[in-house]
């Protein structure tokens, strides 16, 4: 006969076993999904990024010798004076991992004048040119044609529902600016390509080749490292508005675009996939094009940046997916990157050859909330 003590021990053993199994199927769901996605992916067609980077884009090993060829490109950093320590952290990594070898310039933008201390400490981090720009008020502030009563009610409703940044007007100003105004700034008019860098991000790997030249020579217009689903509560009418624009302007959509990345049913609905725009290497001519200019203006007049909380990430993603050829969108698989709480850590030989310091097991690529598998299916 089983004693009470043995009975209790048996029950505890069963409970612990169940907990372990549940943890594997729930908390470990992302990792299990990663393996299954990767297995299916490796057996199927290979997206272009799997071919790696041609040797011609790599810099000579001599640390003094600058590359013979450079693209017309710059880093872009939208920051406040109070972001100084965090943007210096990001910039130091960019310099150490890439730019000390390539010497691309920097453009810093702010809706307030930069302090002399900010400019001094930033300029000390690089030998490359650095410029500081003040954003015009009409490119930053909420436009006067927005119905403030309606916008206030929307913010209050989002705050009640705990929507991230739901009550913030400055955040909305930033999203609108990044969506339709950053590339119009005077300091950026002389450049074609940009690399967007934000405060307190991490770059895990040495980058010994020139991503800008790769974009230029292979006619890429948009590059990313992380892609995921957008919060539905922030964009309830964004796709319906985009569909209205598409219906009125079908001539702007190339036949071989990336519509299937953002829609699973030929454009009827939006699956909420977007490229995480805190990292972008892209061609500003995409945003300066007639198609995107009209698209942004159409979205802007609808007021969704303020009546809802449309982010620049889904807006840019729709612009790239709709108006570019799918072959012009590039996954920078070899650039290790983290913006809290997600990160892309290169795998296998990419990790070793890039001298990366991230944990390959901590990688968002094929987690359940990632959209990378949908990007893979474009090819």
Active site residues: 280
Which run of H or E residues covers position 22? helix 4-25
Rounded to an integer, what distance in angstroms lies between the CA atom of residue 339 and that of residue 328? 24
Q: Of 65, 71, 347, 57, which Cα lies nearest the Cα of 205?
A: 347
Residue carrying structure tokens 């004693």: 3
Rounded to an integer, what distance in angstroms lies between the CA atom of residue 246 and that of residue 343? 33
Rg (CA), the chain: 23
Rounded to an integer, what distance in angstroms lies between the CA atom of residue 271 and that of residue 260? 9
Exposure string of 310-326, with b = 16+ CB inside 10 Å and e = fewer, is bbbbbbbbbbbbbbbeb
Residue 365: how many other CB atoms lie within 10 Å: 24
**Sign, CA torsion 157/160/162/167:** positive
CA distances, 78 to each of 28, 100, 114, 178 (Å): 36, 21, 11, 9
Residues composing the chain: 379
Rounded to an integer, what distance in angstroms lies between the CA atom of residue 306 and that of residue 319? 19
Rounded to an integer, what distance in angstroms lies between the CA atom of residue 287 and that of residue 292? 5
Q: Of 42, 37, 196, which Cα lies nearest the Cα of 108?
A: 196
Rounded to an integer, what distance in angstroms lies between the CA atom of residue 376 and that of residue 34? 13
């Amino acid at each position: 006969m089983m004693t009470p003590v043995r009975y209790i021990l048996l029950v505890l053993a069963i409970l612990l076993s169940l907990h372990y199994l549940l943890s594997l199927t729930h908390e470990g769901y992302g990792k299990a999904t990663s393996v299954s996605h990767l297995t299916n992916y490796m057996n199927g067609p290979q997206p272009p990024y799997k071919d790696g980077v041609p040797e011609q884009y790599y810099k000579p090993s001599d640390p003094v010798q600058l590359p013979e060829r450079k693209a017309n490109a710059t880093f872009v950093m939208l920051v406040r004076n109070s972001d100084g320590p965090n943007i210096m952290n990001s910039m130091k990594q960019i310099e150490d991992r890439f730019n000390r070898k390539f010497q691309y310039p920097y453009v810093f933008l702010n809706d307030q004048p930069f302090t002399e201390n900010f400019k001094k400490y930033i300029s000390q981090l690089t030998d490359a040119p650095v410029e500081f720009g003040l954003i015009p008020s009409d490119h930053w502030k909420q436009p006067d044609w927005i119905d403030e009563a309606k916008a206030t009610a929307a913010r209050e409703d989002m705050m009640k529902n705990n929507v991230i940044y739901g009550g913030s007007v400055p955040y909305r100003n930033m999203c609108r600016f990044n969506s339709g105004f950053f590339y119009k700034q005077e300091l950026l008019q002389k450049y074609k390509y940009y690399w967007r860098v934000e405060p307190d991000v991490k770059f895990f790997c040495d980058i010994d080749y020139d991503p800008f030249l790769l974009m230029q020579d292979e006619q890429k217009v948009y590059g990313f490292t992380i892609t995921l689903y957008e919060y539905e509560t922030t964009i309830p009418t964004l796709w319906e508005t985009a569909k209205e624009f598409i219906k009125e302007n079908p001539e702007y959509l190339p036949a071989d675009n990336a519509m299937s990345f953002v829609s699973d049913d030929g454009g009827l609905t939006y699956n909420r996939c977007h490229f995480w725009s805190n990292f972008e290497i892209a061609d500003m001519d995409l945003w300066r094009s007639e198609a995107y200019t009209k698209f942004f203006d159409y979205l802007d007049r609808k007021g969704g940046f303020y009546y809802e909380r449309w982010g620049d990430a889904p807006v840019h993603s729709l612009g790239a997916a709709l108006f570019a050829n799918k072959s012009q969108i590039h996954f920078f698989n070899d650039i290790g990157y983290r913006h809290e709480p997600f990160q892309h850590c290169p795998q296998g030989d990419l990790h070793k050859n890039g001298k990366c310091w991230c944990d390959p097991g901590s990688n968002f690529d094929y987690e359940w909330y990632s959209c990378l598998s949908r990007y893979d299916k474009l090819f």
